[in-house]
Amino acid sequence: MPDAADSPAAHSTVLSVLLVGNPNVGKSVIFGALTRRYVNVSNYPGTTVEVTRGTAAHLPGRPQLIDTPGTNSLTPQSEDEQVTRDLLLAEPTALVIQVGDTKNLRRTLYLTVQLAELKRRQVLVLNLQDEARDLGVRVESGELANLLRIPVIPATATRGTGLEAIGRRLAEAAVASCEVAYPASVERAAAEVAALLPKELGDQRYGVALMLLAGDPSLASWLRGRVSEEGLLAIGRRRAALEAELGTRAASVISRARHRCVARLLRQVFHQDRAVAGSLRDRLGALTMHPLWGVPVLLLVLFLAYGFVGVFGAGTLVGLVEDGLFGEVINPWVISLVDRLAPWQWLRQLLVGPYGVVTMAITYAIGIVLPVVGTFFIFFGVLEDSGYLPRLAVVINRVFRGMGLNGKAVLPMVLGLGCDTMATLTTRILPTRKERVVVTLLLALGVPCSAQLGVILAILAAMSPLGTFIWGGVVMATLFGVGWAAARLLPGRSSDFLLEVPPLRTPSLANILIKTAARTEWYLKEAVPLFILGTLLLFVLDASGALPAIERAARPVVVHLLGLPAKAADAFLIGFLRRDYGAAGLFVLRQDGQLDGVQAIVSLVVITLFVPCIANFFMMIKERGAKTALAMVAFIVPFAFLVGGLLNFILRALKVAL
């Protein structure tokens, strides 16, 4: 979704400031407040998987502020965490604003200790003070600042408190003073490895040496250009020697030493009053993950989504905007205007003909899809900010097991309902390559994005509920079947389910509105040009007489295999550009009475499973490589038609009437 993209790298003369912290502690809220730039803010770990840069007008010297994906350690466990670690190494002089969750000071300080080993100058923002207070957690930030000798700033970013102190105290940023007492053998090894590292790393060498001794394979490529072949070998040997000496993994010994250091700090500044038992928030949170009640809660959420997006958005609003605004006001007015002003027949056709830019592209994009995505974005925003999504992952972890995935994959899959392109990017939170490939495939294959889903729901809502069941059943069974097969065919390992579940939070109306506006703007920017492009394509094909030829060529598949009218080929054709556009084509066919019930369901199943849109395809190439992306598309297209053909055959054989 419309997360601000990475702007071209700024000049290195500009002072950089990095926002670093554990996942879901509010880095993006602080980024937004300091730069006045919107970045996606949600209540689940892994909202930010890319780096976002902006100018922090509110900080002295207007430095470039860089928002990073959350991480629990500088030894990354997934791609998004690696982004942060790599950025720290790439920006060796940048100051660090570490954002931490006050109620979980242990994890915060665990990261502080590692930043200190890398000799990073930092301030520490203890965010989420409000939640900590509710839970009876007290942190003596003054005492902590004395111990670490860095500025410690209590804040509640969502309410804007404490943020003004960041600018005031950034100049005091310093390397946190917390000496970790490592066993002598580790210190000796670290000193020896540090000596092998390039001089320009300066005093960071000791910290990098510890990362290498912990055996971080993701550092290898960064190291290759900087250390000679022999140096690399020597480091590997030294690490093996250390592990032999310790009799265990160096990584465990190192992390244990860090934790001991953190525990010592905690004893001095962290106070936990007796917890207030069972607040409403806790009880509600437990209910959403309950083995029995979790299911009705999920059904309720689905029902609300259907009611708000399917019935209200796709029904009421589309009726008002498409039939009312476009059908009765805008289009007649534009048509009469064009008829009067445009001298040529072809221009009139181009603007207001059956494949006209106004009558087709704009009407589809604004009249049909916009009301649907608008309502979806609102609903989805509430869902994201409430903290429900990670709880959904807990409930359906077992279902995902069958697909070689685990509950963590629920996040990208559900985000795919918003936009498959962004969801493909979010697969970075998954720990293994196999999982990332399977989820990318499933997103491209059968997870309809909000725009497409809305149009599909609009068609389904006007049919008997049986239609919705068949469509949903076939798509879900296909997803599960393909996932199941992919899990068995693809090499590699899946990971175990391990996910942080954030507290339920009351969504803030302002954030929902800003987020919806940003996403809608992104939709208009990305979709409308493609809608117009697709319409132009159809117009040219139609005018040149190629369209009937294509329809004829597609006949064996569209008419004979799928049992659809030849005209449906148009919808599939523009479906290559955007799946929602293809679905909108079907919507119009259905409105015109050219599709009966079975045909509607078959065509909807095909368009759902059909190729990913262009934007998603490019994202697949970027994230998974061209070969994998092409292989996926080569599988998906024939497979979608095959499933559609099979469904057509079965429904006809059973004489299902819809």
Partner 1 sequence: MREGLSILGRTAAAAREEVLEELWSAAEAGVRLTVDELAHTIHAGASEGWAGVVQELVEQRLVHLEGDLLSLTPAGVEEARAAARRHRLAEVLFNQVLDLPLETTEQEACRIEHLLSPEATEAVCSFLGHPPVCPHGRAIPPGECCQALAGRKVEPLIARLCDLAPGERGKVVLLAPRHRERLEQLTDLGVTPGAVLVLKQRKPSFVVEVDRTLLALEDDIAAGIYLRPLLEW
Chain positions contacting partner 1, by CB under 8 A: 72-73, 75, 77, 101, 103-107, 110, 132, 135, 137, 214, 249, 251-252, 255-256, 259, 263, 272, 285-286, 289-291, 294, 390, 393-398, 406-407, 431, 496-503
Nearer to partner 1, 484 or 497 (CB): 497
**Identity of the residue, 493 or 622, whose beta carbon is nearer to partner 1 in the bound complex:** 493
- The number of beta carbons lying within 10 Å of the beta carbon of residue 260 is 12
253 or 451: CB nearest partner 1 = 253
Find the radius of gyration of the CA atoms of the chain: 28
> Considering beta carbons, is residue 501 or 550 the nearer one to partner 1?
501
Residue 196, exposed/middle/buried by CB under 10 A (0-12, 13-18, 19+)?
Answer: middle
**Nearer to partner 1 by C-beta: 54 or 100?**
100
Query: What minimum distance in Å lies between the beta carbon of 104 and partner 1?
Result: 5
CB of 408 to partner 1, least distance (A): 9
Please give the helix or strand (H or E) that residue 19 lies within, else none. Answer: strand 16-21
- Closest contact distance (angstroms) between CB of 118 and partner 1 is 16
**What are the distances in angstroms from CA 626 to CA 5, 26, 326, 621?**
22, 35, 41, 5
Which residue number, 149 or 398, has a Cβ lying nearer to partner 1?
A: 398
At its nearest, how many Å lie between partner 1 and the CB of residue 289? 6
Task: Report the C-alpha gap between 410 and 415 in whole angstroms.
Answer: 8
Dihedral of CA atoms 586, 587, 589, 591 in degrees, nearest 10, equals 160
CA-to-CA distance for 271 and 143, rounded, in angstroms?
12
Nearest to partner 1 of 234, 301 (CB atom): 301
Unique residue bearing structure tokens 């106004």? 358
Q: β-pairing, 16-21 with 95-101?
A: parallel
> Please, which residue, 103 or 436, has the CB nearer to partner 1?
103
Q: Which is nearer to partner 1, 35 or 108 (CB)?
A: 108
In the complex with partner 1, the residue whose CB is nearer, 436 or 578, is: 436
- For tokens 């495939």, name the residue: 441
Q: Minimum Å distance from CB 275 to partner 1?
A: 8
Contact, 118 vs 207, CB < 8 A? Answer: yes
Concatenated DSSP letters of 78-143: SHHHHHHHHHHHH-TT-EEEEEEEGGGHHHHHHHHHHHHHTT-EEEEEEE-HHHHHHTTEEE-HHH
Beta carbon of residue 231, minimum distance to partner 1 (angstroms, whole number): 25
Kindly write down the DSSP assignment for every residue of 304-326, as one continuous string: HHIIIIIIIIIIIIHIIIIIIII
Nearest approach, Cβ of residue 44 and partner 1 (Å): 12
Q: Which 3 state secondary structure label does DSSP give 565? A: coil
Instruction: Output the CA torsion sign for 68, 72, 74, 80.
Output: negative
Closest CA to 116 of 17, 20, 207: 207
For residue 271, what is the enclosing H or E element? Answer: strand 270-272
